[in-house]
Amino acid sequence: MLKRSEKNPKKDKIIGTNPISRRTFLLGTGAVIASGTLGIPFGKAFASNENFEARYYENINKDTVRCLLCPRRCVIPEGKRGYCEVRENRGGKLYSLTYGQPCALHLDPIEKKPFFHVLPGTKSFSLATVGCNIECKFCQNWQISQSTPEMIETKFRSPEQIVSKAHSLNAPSISFTYGEPVVFIEYVQDIAKKASAKGIKSLVVTNGFYRQKPLEDLCKVADAIKIDLKGFTNKYYRNICDAELKPVLDSILKVRSEGVWLEIVYLMLPTLNDSPIEIREMARWLVKNVGDNVPLHFSRFFPQYKLKDLPPTPFSSLETAYKICREEGLKFVYIGNVPRNETENTFCPACSKKIIERRGYNTKNIHIKNGCCTFCGEPIPGLWED
């Protein structure tokens, strides 16, 4: 695979030359707000925490390391960074540059992640750091995912501060989202452990492009994981995301086998990953390998980042995909980013009654008690409030 700097030479020119303020940047995204506005006192400055040693790497020789976090397995010489640009070799040790450096903090409806079978109707304290280990041409958070630490001003916030803020906001969960949690996995792990002690759940929203060992470790502290299955061909993953399909499928299997709650999102792009044949293959693979009760969210694409010339996904394509997946036996299929459509709701697979009603991010009329449909008693899979 290409290194990011080979693929996007402009990126290197940006580094360290023209940092924008965090607030300016975040307001530009329209998706998140600066963490200071949530009233978390700033901790130590970035410079005090830039020596956080990474957890997943090995030395090839005295000066060179190999990162073992994601399938790229970047070989990183002294003074250089990996593809994600947030893990750096200093003196033969690999360091995470974004530990404790959230660039976005926000209280979001959990439906925005989207998690539809986890604590519906609640808010999730959501955070991101910069960086990503893949580059999707349609990324809607590219200002976060494709930035380097130098491009956004941040302040240190310890795991304790994050958990304490979530607690004070009465958030029953913390979501690691917007960017890619794999590249700040140590921060995720440390927050999740402290959150668990306070009874706060940890939710991970990820591209699933992991190696198995870090993912296995993550599963020990995460309560739910949402994986973006970007497409169902390797060609699509290579051409559109600069990644590979198989490690993502392996991650889906791993999360399922570890018993962590799993939901899947499929962002549908016109002409690129909307073939009914591919959708049927994906549905069959999911039913066979993950089971018929995994929630699958089809999401409507709107022109973004490097695919501004592509039109939004026609609703008819999403409807076709929905029907195919239902035919193949998936019980919980949703269409997102399309206001006021019936498939936003959850229906009991046994009695067909509407058991969760949604309008966009608003949820009401939840007919689930003790994990069962209140109309017929059918168990509904998910993480529900007691």
Cα–Cα distance between 65 and 11 in angstroms, integer? Answer: 23
> Which of residues 7 and 364 has its CB atom nearest to ligand SF4 in the complex?
7
102 contributes a contact to ligand SF4 by CB under 6 A: no
Q: Which of 25, 83, 187, 236 is the binder for ligand SF4 (CB under 6 A)?
A: 83
Integer Cα distance of 239 and 129 in angstroms: 25
Choose between 71 and 159: whose C-beta lies nearer to ligand SF4. Answer: 71
Which stretch in 29-37, 64-72, 227-235, 372-380 sits in contact with ligand SF4 by CB under 6 A?
64-72
Backbone phi and psi for residue 121, each to the nearest 5 degrees, phi listed first: 85, 5
Give the span between the Cα atoms of 123 and 112, in whole angstroms: 9
Interacting stretch for ligand SF4, rule CB under 6 A, among 30-38, 78-86, 139-147, 215-223?
78-86
Tell whether residue 70 is a contact of ligand SF4 (CB under 6 A).
Answer: yes
* 269 contacts: CB under 8 Å, gap ≥ 6: 138, 240, 301, 307, 310, 313
| Smallest distance, ligand SF4 to C-beta of residue 294, A | 26
Shortest approach of ligand SF4 to residue 41 CB, angstroms? 30
Q: How far is the CB of 60 from ligand SF4 (least distance, A)?
A: 13
Q: Residue 290: which of 245, 236, 230, 331 has the closest Cα? A: 331
- Quick one: 57 or 125, whose CB is closer to ligand SF4? 57
C-alpha distance across the termini of the chain, in Å = 47
Among 97, 139, 183, 348, binds ligand SF4 (CB under 6 A): 183
- The CB-of-360 to ligand SF4 minimum distance in angstroms stands at 34
Q: How far apart are CA 326 and CA 333, in angstroms?
A: 7
Minimal distance, residue 214 CB to ligand SF4, in Å: 9
Q: How far is the CB of 43 from ligand SF4 (least distance, A)?
A: 24
Question: Applying CB under 6 A, does 133 fall inside the site for ligand SF4?
Answer: yes
Q: Is 222 in the site for ligand SF4 (CB under 6 A)?
A: no
Q: Should residue 74 be labelled a site residue for ligand SF4 when binding is judged by CB under 6 A?
A: yes
Q: Which stretch binds ligand SF4 (CB under 6 A): 72-80, 114-122, 265-273, 324-332?
A: 72-80
State yes or no: residue 159 binds ligand SF4 (CB under 6 A).
no
Return the beta strands (E) in the chain as ranges. Answer: 52-53, 57-59, 65-67, 75-76, 87-90, 93-96, 104-109, 123-128, 173-176, 201-206, 224-228, 261-268, 296-300, 333-336, 346-347, 354-359, 362-364, 368-369, 372-373
Per-residue three-class SS string for 277-315: HHHHHHHHHHHHHCCCCCCEEEEECCCCCCCCCCCCCCH
Q: Which parts of this chain interact with ligand SF4 (CB under 6 A)?
A: 67, 69-70, 72-74, 82-84, 87, 133, 183
